[in-house]
Amino acid sequence: MSKGTVLLLKDKASIEQDKTEQSTTYDISDSTQIPDEYETKLASLSYTSIFLPVLSYVFVNIEELTKILKNGPEKKYWGIVVTSQKAVKGLKLAWNNAFNNVTEVDSLNKEKALWENLPFFVVGKATSKATDGLNFNALGLNSGNSESLAEYIIQFHNQNNTQNFHQNSLPLLFLTGDKRLDKLPTRLSQAGIKLEELLVYETRPDENFSTELENIVKKNRKIDWIVFFSPSGVDVAWKSLTKLNLWKTVKIACIGKTTGNYLEKCDIKVHVISPKPEPESLACSINEYVTRNNNK
């Protein structure tokens, strides 16, 4: 028996996983789909999931990133930073363009190896998981948020600046989206760590959100929880949720303090804030809330 229905305001992930796990290249045509981990974790605790994307994404500057990769990082960058799965997907697209061209693969082996040997900083386990198929050694995956990742990078920098990373003169390559926050760049700048930022995706409202939400409600599917993943998702969903009078009938959960604080600024009561941007953290947080309140 289901403990409740959870509406996740995101697309249902289709994480692309290379069929040959030993492969050091990412080939879009040679991938399989694995289940969305949010659905899996919630189902394991007897919750039903509904996925409804509130935002859509368009990849940009992939050609520019492809050129950067082909030119190699030597004397240009000492590491890479990504803080979202979408940024990783943008990197994979450029990586495929740069290194999977059969006519150039041999001549680019050196550049490819140099990139793979750089420190590769990620904000969480989900972002790290998205790098499957790339031969990077992800660092900082237990950070959980950009502030903690910044502190991890600073500590790494201070511990390794005597090695051949040239951190004091070279920047990190920061692959990001148009809605990124300033916390990580600001903190790294304060610590004297340079960033070269490249926008690899842009966020837009999903044009089908309102219609699809109405269809879900019309099907008499009782929604017990709504999960927000970003402040921009709150902005897009606000009008439709208000029109359907859903704010008063559902519990609200979100990923991270930034989204939680934004919801509260909008006078929306937040019942659960997942401390980490991970499926298990969200599912356990919701279940703990339900269990605690059922026992009152």
Q: What is the pLDDT of residue 112?
A: 92
Please give the sequence-ordered ranges of beta strands (E in DSSP) within 145-276, or none if there are none: 172-177, 195-205, 225-228, 251-255, 272-274
Q: What is the pLDDT of residue 248?
A: 86
Report all structural domains of the chain as residue ranges with CATH numbers, in order of start: 4-54+212-294 (3.40.50.10090), 58-203 (3.40.50.10090)
Least confident of 9-23, 101-115, 148-162, 216-230: 9-23
Per-residue pLDDT at 83 exceeds 50: yes
Confidence of residue 152 (pLDDT cuts 50, 70, 90): very high
Q: What is the pLDDT of residue 19?
A: 29
Q: What is the pLDDT of residue 23?
A: 30
Least confident of 18-32, 137-151, 153-167, 222-236: 18-32
Phi, psi of 202 (to 5 degrees): -120, 145
Highest mean pLDDT out of 32-36, 75-79, 273-277: 75-79
Q: What is the pLDDT of residue 36?
A: 86
pLDDT in tens, 8-19: 999 886 543 332
Per-residue pLDDT at 201 exceeds 60: yes
Per-residue pLDDT at 106 exceeds 70: no
CA distance 279 to 275: 11
- Global pTM exceeds 0.85: no
Q: What is the pLDDT of residue 72?
A: 94
pLDDT in tens, 162-193: 555 555 689 999 999 998 888 999 999 999 99
Q: Quick one: what percent of the chain has pLDDT higher than 90?
A: 66
- To the nearest whole number, what is the mean pLDDT of the chain? 87
Structure-block tokens of residue 212: 């699809």
Q: Using alpha carbons, select from 178, 175, 177, 181 the residue that is nearest to residue 197.
A: 175
Per-residue pLDDT at 134 exceeds 80: yes
Q: What is the pLDDT of residue 164?
A: 53
pLDDT in tens, 209-261: 999 999 999 886 789 999 999 999 999 999 999 999 988 889 999 998 889 99
Q: Using alpha carbons, select from 245, 26, 8 the residue that is nearest to residue 115.
A: 26
Per-residue pLDDT at 49 exceeds 60: yes
**Residues contacting 144, CB < 8 A, separation 6+:** 123, 124, 275, 276, 277, 278
